[in-house]
Amino acid sequence: MSNTTKFYINGEWVDPVAPKLFDVINPATEEPAGQISMGGAEDVDRAVKAARAAFTTFSKTTKEERLALLHRIIAVFESRMDDLARAITAEMGSPLWFAMQVQTNTTLEHFKEAAKVLKDYDFGHMLGGTTRIVREPIGVCGFITPWNWPINQVASKFAPSLAAGCTCVVKPSEMAPLSTIILTEILHEAGVPKGVFNLVNGDGPTVGEAISRHPDIDMVSFTGSTRAGILVAKAAADTVKRVHQELGGKSANIILPGADLEAAVSAGTLRAFTNTGQSCQAPTRMLIHQDQLAEATAIARRTAEAVVVGDPLAEGTRLGPLVSEAQFDRVQHLIRIGIEEGATLAAGGLGRPAGLNRGYYVKPTVFSDVTPAMTIAQQEIFGPVLSMLPYKDKDDAVAIANGTIYGLAGYVWAGSLEEAREVGMELRAGRIYLNGAPHGKLQDVEAPFGGYKQSGNGREAGIYGLEDFLEIKAILGYEMA
């Protein structure tokens, strides 16, 4: 890539106003994987002006024109999937197979889903005899995206915003910006009009805050920690822009006595470790009936100890490193707290796995006998750490599951689908997975994604994702009475 130290503004790769270089570290080697420039408020202002100018014309494009553009993006994207996957592996440590089969493929599905929804979407209808309701693009959008699913989160915002007719300014995480730079090259090659997509690299306190505060940005969509999401909302408040947030999670996985315990516990353990545990909807709290806790703990221990951790480029690796030294230190700190607070360490623990002396690798860790008040049962760890909590009965399980500040996802395993549905309806979370659903896929891109409580607001994906980028206008007297 030749554009890493430039920003993409108004359809061109441009130099920052005040260049400041930043090394992107490969977490597997602890060596630089690339270098970017860190932007500032002046760079954001240039990008917003370009997006604002472009909105004047792009908002008036036809549905057919935007559909054609999405299909061109899909075609170019498919030709660069290997480049994207390798960039994701280098910048955030995802095993190459996972970067290709899941990270990159899911990103592609967001563009395909946006095209599918746009094709059949009705942007206007009559209400009663004389009033017409129309849905219009909200305007210029600011996207602040995380490092754990780097291009997936850009696409989950940009694809529906483009379908709606919006323009945008994007700030990917400075920890994992390389794949977004390639995505930007894809969009340029596909012929995205000047100013519709603008990229400014930088950190949250500088570029992220400038985006959130900018008076000419109509909506800011943020994915990241709840702590950072609160700061984004506060910065955006003075300009009364729409704030869309997908924040933290501490998702519960309730395994009921009638479920196949071996299948449910082993699948739930692996799912908690997906993406090295760096997934906001990971089922990191496994709730087990107290009579089955010992057996379930043994299954989770066997599952964790069989997980292959290592070089993300090596065949057979299931878990790569955490994204950074800071994240490694945070996870180690929380594992230590779990031990100090009296949870039973069933697998893993402190330090790197055997034979891995370099890279931000963590042992797949399982705690049992965890109580709801413990730190590891309440705080999002964002690493391969599973907490197993016993419950007395179904009502107790639901109370424990709902007993956090989060509400992003919930999981239920039961002997019958009817029982799983019953418990799933009691969970206060935005997305519920029953008996291992969705089968064979990490996520169903048609289903809305978003949270209750401090896991955020708004929804991504499908028709709900598109409508979050639209304003509603009522035109009274549109037809004669």
Choose the catalytic residue: 280, 380, 419, 460.
280
Choose the catalytic residue: 209, 246, 380, 460.
246
- State the SS3 of 10-47: CCEEECCCCCCEEEEEECCCCEEEEEEECCCHHHHHHH
> For residues 164 and 137, is the Cβ–Cβ distance under 8 A?
yes
Handedness of CA 135, 140, 146, 149 (dihedral sign): positive
Active site residue 467: no
Q: Which amino acid is at 301?
A: R
Query: CA distances (Å), 115 to each of 75, 425, 436, 461, in order?
Result: 13, 31, 28, 11
Q: How much helix, strand and coil, in percent to the nearest 5, is found in the chain?
A: 40, 20, 40
Sheet containing 7-9: give its strands across.
12-14, 7-9, 197-199, 167-171, 140-144, 219-223, 242-246, 456-457
Q: How many CA atoms does the CB half-sphere of 465 hold within 13 Å?
A: 30
> For residues 140 and 112, is the Cβ–Cβ distance under 8 A?
no
- Ramachandran region of residue 396, left (φ > 0), alpha (ψ -120 to 50) or beta? alpha
Nearby residues of 172 by Cβ (< 8 Å), 6 or more positions away: 145, 147, 150, 154, 180, 199, 201
CA distance 247 to 225: 5
> For residues 283 and 136, is the Cβ–Cβ distance under 8 A?
no
Tokens 């919006």 sit at which residue?
A: 166
CA distance 450 to 459: 5
Q: Rounded to the nearest 5°, which phi and psi values hold at 188?
A: -65, -45
> What are residue 131's DSSP bridge partners?
127
Q: Which amino acid is at 350?
A: L
Rg of the chain taking only CA atoms, in angstroms: 23
Q: Which two tokens stand for residue 182?
A: 């390639």
Checking DSSP bridges between strand 242-246 and strand 219-223, what pairing results, if any? parallel
Nearest Cα residue to 145 out of 115, 107, 108, 117: 107
Active site residue 280: yes
Nearby residues of 240 by Cβ (< 8 Å), 6 or more positions away: none
Query: Which residues are known to be catalytic?
Result: 246, 280
